[in-house]
Structure 1
Amino acid sequence: MNPLIKIRRDLHQIPEIGFQEFKTQAYLLSYLKSLPQQRISIKKWKTGLLVKVSGLNPRKTIGYRTDIDGLPISEQTGLPFSSVHEARMHACGHDFHMSIALGVLTFFVENPIVDDVVFVFQPAEEGPGGAEAMLESAEMREWMPDMIFALHIAPEYPVGTIAVKEGLLFANTSELFIDLKGKGGHAAYPHQTNDMVIAACSLVNQLQTVISRNVDPLDSAVITIGKITGGTVQNIIAEKARLEGTIRTLSPESMGKVKHRIEALVKGIETGYECEAVIDYGSMYHQVFNTESITKDFINYLQQGTDVKVIECREAMTGEDFGYMLKEIPGLMFWLGVESPFGLHHAKLTPNEAAIDVAVKVMTSYISFKGNQA
Structure 2
Amino acid sequence: MLTENDLIQIRRDLHQIPELALAEHETHAYLFDKVRSFNQEHLTIREIEELPTALLVRIAGSKPKRTIGYRADIDALPVTEDTDLPFASTHEGRMHACGHDMHMTVALGLIAYFAENQPEDNLLFFFQPAEEEENGGLLAYERGVFEGEWRPDEFYALHDTPNLPAGMIGCRMGTLFAGSAEVDVDFIGKSGHAAFPQDANDMVVAAAAFIGQIQSIVARRIDPIRSGVITFGRFNAGSIRNVIAGSARLEGTIRGLEQTMLVDLMEQIKAIAQGIAKSYGCQVVPTFTQGGYLPVENTPELTKNFIDFMQAKHPEQFKLTEPAMTGEDFGYLLSKIPGTMFWLGVEDEHPLHAATFSPKEEALAPAVSTIRDFLTFRMLQEEGE
TM-score, structure 2 normalization: 0.90
- Equivalent residue in structure 1 for 2:300, among 292, 295, 298: 292
Matched, 1:262 2:272: no
1:9 aligns with 12
Structure 1, residues 289-346: CA drift from partner, whole Å, max 9, x if none? 2222222222232233236421111222222221222223222111111111111222
Matched, 1:69 2:51: no
Aligned partner letter, 1:330: P
Whether the aligned pair in 2 keeps the contact of 1:127 and 1:283 (CA below 8 Å) is: no
Q: How far, CA to CA, are the matches of 1:179 and 1:84 in structure 2?
A: 40
Matched, 1:21 2:32: no
Q: CA deviation at 1:260?
A: 0.9
Change in Cα spacing, 1:226 to 1:25, as seen in structure 2 (3 Å) is: same
2:336 aligns with 328
Aligned partner letter, 1:230: A
Task: Tell me whether 117-126 or 85-94 shows the greater mean CA deviation.
Answer: 85-94
2:175 aligns with 168
Whether the aligned pair in 2 keeps the contact of 1:129 and 1:283 (CA below 8 Å) is: no
2:237 aligns with 230
Q: Report how many aligned residue pairs link the two structures.
A: 374
1:201 aligns with 208
Whether the aligned pair in 2 keeps the contact of 1:158 and 1:339 (CA below 8 Å) is: yes
Structure 1, residues 77-114: CA drift from partner, whole Å, max 9, x if none? 23232223333222211111111111111111121111
Q: How far, CA to CA, are the matches of 1:23 and 1:176 in structure 2?
A: 33
Whether the aligned pair in 2 keeps the contact of 1:53 and 1:109 (CA below 8 Å) is: yes
The residue matched to 1:266 in structure 2 has which SS? helix
The residue matched to 1:281 in structure 2 has which SS? strand
Q: CA deviation at 1:209?
A: 0.9
Aligned partner letter, 2:335: K
1:155 aligns with 162
Task: Tell me whether 334-343 or 172-181 shows the greater mean CA deviation.
Answer: 172-181
Whether the aligned pair in 2 keeps the contact of 1:36 and 1:109 (CA below 8 Å) is: yes
Q: CA deviation at 1:116?
A: 1.1
1:90 aligns with 96
Q: How far, CA to CA, are the matches of 2:205 and 2:94 in structure 1?
A: 34
Whether the aligned pair in 2 keeps the contact of 1:170 and 1:317 (CA below 8 Å) is: yes
Aligned partner letter, 2:367: A
Task: Tell me whether 100-109 or 211-220 shows the greater mean CA deviation.
Answer: 211-220
- Equivalent residue in structure 2 for 1:132, among 119, 138, 159: 138
Structure 1 unaligned regions, length at least 5: none
Task: Tell me whether 292-301 or 107-116 shows the greater mean CA deviation.
Answer: 292-301
2:310 aligns with 302
Whether the aligned pair in 2 keeps the contact of 1:168 and 1:315 (CA below 8 Å) is: yes
Whether the aligned pair in 2 keeps the contact of 1:172 and 1:286 (CA below 8 Å) is: yes
Aligned partner letter, 2:355: A
Q: How far, CA to CA, are the matches of 1:14 and 1:128 in structure 2?
A: 20
Percent identity of equivalent pairs: 45
Q: CA deviation at 1:352?
A: 0.8
1:211 aligns with 218
The residue matched to 1:340 in structure 2 has which SS? coil
Aligned partner letter, 2:333: M
Whether the aligned pair in 1 keeps the contact of 2:59 and 2:119 (CA below 8 Å) is: no
2:189 aligns with 182
Aligned partner letter, 2:103: H
Change in Cα spacing, 1:20 to 1:308, as seen in structure 2 (3 Å) is: farther
Change in Cα spacing, 1:75 to 1:296, as seen in structure 2 (3 Å) is: same
Task: Tell me whether 324-333 or 234-243 shows the greater mean CA deviation.
Answer: 234-243
1:30 aligns with 33
Q: How far, CA to CA, are the matches of 1:191 and 1:89 in structure 2?
A: 51
The residue matched to 1:140 in structure 2 has which SS? coil
The residue matched to 2:181 in structure 1 has which SS? strand
Aligned partner letter, 1:173: S
Q: After TM superposition, where is structure 1 displaced by more than 6 Å over at least 4 residues in a row?
A: none
Task: Tell me whether 253-262 or 177-186 shows the greater mean CA deviation.
Answer: 177-186
Q: How far, CA to CA, are the matches of 1:323 and 1:365 in structure 2?
A: 24
Change in Cα spacing, 1:185 to 1:21, as seen in structure 2 (3 Å) is: farther
Change in Cα spacing, 1:195 to 1:7, as seen in structure 2 (3 Å) is: farther
The residue matched to 1:138 in structure 2 has which SS? coil
Aligned partner letter, 2:134: P
Matched, 1:56 2:56: no
Q: How far, CA to CA, are the matches of 1:75 and 1:281 in structure 2?
A: 32
The residue matched to 1:264 in structure 2 has which SS? helix
Q: CA deviation at 1:181?
A: 3.0
Aligned partner letter, 1:228: F
Q: CA deviation at 1:15?
A: 2.2
Q: How far, CA to CA, are the matches of 2:132 and 2:363 in structure 1?
A: 22
Task: Tell me whether 335-344 or 123-132 shows the greater mean CA deviation.
Answer: 123-132
Report the RMSD for the aligned CA atoms in angstroms: 2.1
Q: How far, CA to CA, are the matches of 2:284 and 2:95 in structure 1?
A: 34
1:101 aligns with 107
Q: How far, CA to CA, are the matches of 1:223 and 1:86 in structure 2?
A: 32
The residue matched to 1:179 in structure 2 has which SS? strand
TM-score, structure 1 normalization: 0.93
Q: CA deviation at 1:201?
A: 2.1
